Amino acid sequence: MTSRPAIPRHIAIVMDGNGRWAKARHRPRSFGHNAGRKAVREVVEGCLREGVEALTLFAFSSENWRRPEEEVGALMTLFVRALDKETDELHAQGVRLRFVGDLAAFDQPLRERMQAAMTRTTGNRKLHLNIAVNYGGRWDIVQAARDAAAAVGRGELRAEAIDEAVLGSRMCLAELPPLDLFIRTGGECRLSNFLLWQAAYAELHFTDTLWPDFDQASLHRAIEDYGRRERRYGRTGDQVATDKG
């Protein structure tokens, strides 16, 4: 009898390497970001095929504003184009699109487009696709703490009642399955302030593949790698084996 392979319910990806991919082709960085957009499509298809429930992509970090103005502008244009071009198909495929992060920093037309895409796809359940923009893991923890503090101020919550569950429920993506697999492409092995709270028990998968080259086969390899991990949550290997038996 063959047992079903373990499929992560929720995958997060730091899509790194667009710039180097473009540089290797003597093209501007925006060319790499554009190729990165195609890889996003590949991975969404892959997640739908593999039965992953939620996919969270780091598209623009709170630190990315420090990039040259021209590159930031090119990325914004790319996001708008991608929204205009992809929302119909994502909707048809049953994908629920959500933007997470401090959206207040974006200009009004972009915010309106993001909101329209979220509203339009809100009833979809095949795949939760979360795009993190102007997002930072520490920002996420701070906004959850502020929200809890405000509830204390209003007399709706006792300070002593604040525990992991109370704070966790105020964090981005709280209503989705816990993060199982954290992937980073482009050869760096760090979290870069992405989903710090949510990644507490995630399996980490680092690959040298540059993001524009990351395809469905790469995703499948990452999922296979995940399937070989033993998730212990603080228990011993023997305890985990006994539970499985």
Q: Do residues 182 and 192 touch, judged by C-beta distance below 8 A?
A: no
Judged by beta carbon, residue 79 or residue 197, the one nearer ligand FPP is 79
Q: How far apart are CA 182 and CA 14, in angstroms?
A: 8
Judged by beta carbon, residue 16 or residue 180, the one nearer ligand FPP is 16
Q: According to CB under 6 A, which residues from 113 to 142 bind ligand FPP?
A: 131
Task: Decide: is 64 part of the binding site for ligand FPP (CB under 6 A).
Answer: yes
Judged by beta carbon, residue 21 or residue 226, the one nearer ligand FPP is 21
Tell which one of 37, 98, 128, 184 touches ligand FPP (CB under 6 A).
Answer: 37
Q: Do residues 134 and 101 touch, judged by C-beta distance below 8 A?
A: yes
Tell which one of 18, 30, 134, 218 touches ligand FPP (CB under 6 A).
Answer: 18
Considering Cα of 136, then 141, then 144, then 146, what sign does the dihedral take? negative
Q: Which DSSP string do the residues of 10-75 spell out, in sequence order?
A: EEEEE---HHHHHHTTT--HHHHHHHHHHHHHHHHHHHHHHT-SEEEEEEEETTGGGS-HHHHHHH
Is 138 annotated as belonging to a binding site?
no
Tell which one of 8, 12, 13, 17 touches ligand FPP (CB under 6 A).
Answer: 17
Task: Decide: is 44 part of the binding site for ligand FPP (CB under 6 A).
Answer: no
The amino acid at 209: T
Task: Give the residue at shortest CB distance from ligand FPP.
Answer: 19
CA 195 centroid distance within chain? 8
Tell which one of 33, 96, 98, 128 touches ligand FPP (CB under 6 A).
Answer: 33
Considering Cα of 99, then 198, then 192, then 181, what sign does the dihedral take? negative
Is 18 annotated as belonging to a binding site?
yes
From residue 173 to residue 192, the character string flagging contacts with ligand FPP as x (rule: CB under 6 A) and all else as - is -------------x------
Task: Decide: is 82 part of the binding site for ligand FPP (CB under 6 A).
Answer: yes
- How many residues belong to the chain? 245
Best CA proximity match to 171, nearest among 202, 201, 148, 204: 148
Q: Do residues 44 and 95 touch, judged by C-beta distance below 8 A?
A: yes
The amino acid at 128: H
**Binding site residue list:** 16-21, 29, 33, 61-63, 65, 67, 184, 190-192, 203
**Binding site residue list for substrate:** 17-21, 29, 33, 61-63, 65, 67, 184, 190-192
Residues engaged in binding ligand FPP (CB under 6 A): 15-20, 29, 33, 36-37, 40, 57, 59, 64, 78-79, 82, 131, 186, 211
